[in-house]
Amino acid sequence: MQIVILQDSAAVAEYGANLFIQQLQKKPASVLGLATGSTPVSLYQRLIAANRSGEVSFKQVTSFNLDEYLGLDGSHKQSYRYFMNSQLFDAIDIDKANTHVPPGDADDPIEACDRYEQQIVKAGGIDIQLLGIGRNGHIGFNEPSSGLMSRTRVKTLTKATIEDNARFFSSDEYQPHLSITMGIGTILDAKKVVLLATGENKADAIKASVEGALSAACPASALQLHRNVILVLDEAAASKLSDIEFYKHIELENQKLMQRLGKA
Ligand code: GLP
């Protein structure tokens, strides 16, 4: 795992956005795996700015989001489809027909999960997958006890996740307790995975993901199995890691090597 520790959340967003910009410059027809939550919002703002300045285009991009609430259609303000449209898609030159979010309003959600998997395969697989992380180590809506090889499916949300996300719903609004989420196996199939985490409330989950055992108890620990994963953390999210200085040292050595090879 590549672990990059930066001073604050702004630096994390900048670093993460640059990884996506580099990917799009290398392959304009990239398949992007996208995420919701508050963490990626600043990264999306940077991508919007890069699109406006002509640094990148999304015209040939296909995207797949990690998850969606089951029971909400895309016009619901708390749906992840609505979030993606308002936080990113409406502001960039992407063709919305090429953007995919699991259908929260599907008549047959189980069949819709299989179809989502097929659509990812048909698009050629995900080139770069963005992830946030829940306080309990969830990725997408893969809650603790999720199978490490799981595929897109319906998942029940934990009480902790429902409470964490309650801040987005008004008191009279229905808050779903089920979701459709890419599985951990689906996420591990992405060619590159970029996980962003900021703030002290993520420090335990990061510690368990990086230095804990590979375990369904912490779904993000499955990333230990991925050959091309990068965790971009601010100092607060990294604060419980026991080997911070070593991770920083590795990064400096990586940078020196890349410079020497002319790849920096
Ligand atoms: C939700 C999403 C996850 C996200 C998590 C953390 O549960 N399903 O994909 O990573 O929230 O969100 P935040 O970035 O707001 O802390």
Asked whether the predicted pLDDT for residue 94 surpasses 90, the reply is: yes
Strands of the chain, DSSP E:
2-6, 31-34, 62-65, 67-69, 99-100, 128-131, 153-156, 178-181, 192-197, 229-234
Phi and psi dihedrals of 143, rounded to 5?
A: -80, 165
Percent of the chain whose predicted confidence (pLDDT) is above 70: 100
C-beta of residue 153 within 8 angstroms of C-beta of residue 181: yes
Q: Is 176 in the pocket of ligand 1 (CB under 6 A)?
A: no
pLDDT tier for residue 76 given thresholds of 50, 70 and 90: very high
**Residue 232 confidence (pLDDT):** 98
Q: CB within 8 A of 115, min separation 6: which ones? A: none
CA atoms within 13 A on the CB side of 139: 34
**Residue 34 confidence (pLDDT):** 98
- Write out pLDDT tens, residues 154-186: 999 999 989 988 998 998 899 999 999 999 999
Ligand 1 atom closest to Cα of residue 132:
10
**Residue 136 confidence (pLDDT):** 95
pLDDT tier for residue 83 given thresholds of 50, 70 and 90: very high
Q: Is 36 in the pocket of ligand 1 (CB under 6 A)?
A: yes
Ligand 1 atom closest to Cα of residue 140:
9
CA atoms within 13 A on the CB side of 264: 12
Q: What's the CA gap between 35 and 56, in Å, rounded? A: 19
pLDDT tier for residue 84 given thresholds of 50, 70 and 90: very high
Q: Taking all residues of the chain, what is their mean pLDDT, rounded to a whole number?
A: 97
Asked whether the predicted pLDDT for residue 58 surpasses 90, the reply is: yes
Q: What's the CA gap between 251 and 143, in Å, rounded? A: 30
Token pair of 175 as six digits: 């808050």
Asked whether the predicted pLDDT for residue 264 surpasses 90, the reply is: no
Task: Identify the CA nearest to 102 among candidates 89, 92, 115, 85.
Answer: 115
Q: Is 66 in the pocket of ligand 1 (CB under 6 A)?
A: yes
Token pair of 210 as six digits: 């990086």
Report, as an integer, the average pLDDT of 23-28: 98
Residues acting as catalytic residues: 67, 136, 138, 143
**Residue 191 confidence (pLDDT):** 98
Token pair of 64 as six digits: 């797949």
Q: In what order do the strands lie in the sheet with 229-234?
A: 2-6, 229-234, 192-197, 128-131, 31-34, 62-65, 99-100
Instruction: Name all domains of the chain by residue range, CATH numbers in brackets.
Output: 2-260 (3.40.50.1360)
Asked whether the predicted pLDDT for residue 263 surpasses 90, the reply is: no
**Residue 258 confidence (pLDDT):** 93
